[in-house]
Amino acid sequence: MGAQSAGPLVVGVDSSTQSTKTLVVDAATGVVVARGQAPHTVSGGDGKESDPAQWWRALGEALRQCGAAARQATALSVAGQQHGLVTLDAAGAPVRPALLWNDVRPAPQSARLIEELGGAKAWAERVGSVPAPAFTVAKWAWLRANEPAAAAATRAVRLPHDYLTERLTGEAVTDRGDASGTGWWASSTESYDTAILDHVGLDPAALARVALPGEAAGTVRADDLPLPRGALVAAGTGDNMAAALGLGLRPGQPVLSLGTSGTVYAVSGRRPVDPSGTVAGFADARGDWLPLACTLNCTLAVDRIAALLGRDREAVEPGGEAVVLPFLDGERTPNLPGASGLVHGLRHDTTAGQLLQAAYDGAVFALLKALDQVLDGDAADDTPLLLIGGGAQGRAWRETVRRLSGRPVAVPDAQELVALGAAAQAAGLLLGEDPAAVARRWETARGARYAARERDAAAWERLAGTLADGDALLRR
């Protein structure tokens, strides 16, 4: 147990690729009174898959670690990794392991869907996004093409957070934020697109109902978790939407998240439409929009290069002209699912520390290049960039962002922002408040501030030139 509670307790859940994290939070003050975490297993090979049943077991274990606080909660919300394809049979059991967001096997289906339904511009205008291989619609098309028996046995399709919410409540409910990452929820109409569903052979009745912002999914009915029966359950949302809630974001505040993947996003009052496919036109969890760009290769890729060089991740050195594009697992932004890493510009005097710094530069460059399109002029150049995720605690990451962005940087003290955002959503439901306003009252964005540095234009130009010149090689 942590600090004593002054108000009702709520639970925020972050069901991510690697683990389930739970926070029990005082709804009045934002004080975290208990926390838990349990790992997930991801199978490798050609794809990235997980058994959804383990997410449920991990949720139970993480809640048990919270002790008596979890049993006193009055409301709960689940945030989950976006895009994952969970297929359920007539009994509600998983047909096969879930295909995770970072499974790039559906790249051919993604390209085919874009072509068959009018091209990238038509998709962007209709759905809000051009469906990358990560999107659920491409994963469902892959399953039908490669495992037709599994597709035929499927009676319900859920996103990861929907699966957990349904097991908690018995109700098939999702939210507009997570639904906007499927490729079959149209931002232009804020509803499922029946023409797209018909094209990919999926019955709309197989999908969860999309709750309105602020609407409850139901109440806790599950008996095998240390939660009080009857506690309110919010609709939940995707992990990026929850992090935006956790920060209490206002429109035009840019965020750069450094985790296994890297993301850049900002809340916007305008519906995003990007025919290039760089910016995903997601909805947020409140009624606004969350234009976002995501890269596959971030902290894990740079850590791998540090290991190959035999150096600590912080052991970077300035100087040199080497360029590293650390696309070790293919890439989503830019859309190069078949790419591998590229090293260019080595000299006899290039040091290992300079090469490691170049890997940081390559990862940050991809994110900042996308951020310019995400913001689309909505934020002034001196607006602080909120740096979150595990990498935000690293000096090398922070200083690379400062050097290549030219912006001031703020690093919030609050940890586990996805779970914290889910907790804010639960508190908002319980108290009848805007969850982002709840998070602002909790002062979740408070933390260290770093002044802007002059942008390293030479490094930026080297990276841009190498990406352009190496395009054919990267597409192999």
Q: Which two tokens stand for residue 235?
A: 């609709």
Instruction: With H, G, I as helix, E, B as strand and everything else as coil, classify residue 60.
Output: helix
Q: Report the candidate in 282, 332, 56, 94 with the shortest Cα–Cα distance to residue 178.
A: 282
User: CA separation (Å) from 27 to 21, 237, 420, 441?
Assistant: 18, 19, 11, 10
Show Cβ contacts of residue 297 under 8 Å, excluding neighbours closer than 6 positions. Answer: 261, 262, 326, 327, 328, 329, 331, 363, 366
Q: Beta partners for 446?
A: none
Could you say which of 103, 178, 193, 239 is catalytic?
239
The number of beta carbons lying within 10 Å of the beta carbon of residue 90 is 10
Residue for token pair 């912002």: 213
Dihedral sign (CA 293, 296, 297, 301): positive
Is 239 marked active-site? yes
Is 460:365 a contact under the CB 8 Å cutoff? yes
CA atoms within a 13 Å half-sphere pointing along the CA-CB vector of 331 = 28
Distance in angstroms (rounded) separating the CA atoms of residues 70 and 228: 8
Q: In DSSP terms, which residues pair with 386 in a beta bridge?
A: 255, 410
Task: List the catalytic residues.
Answer: 239
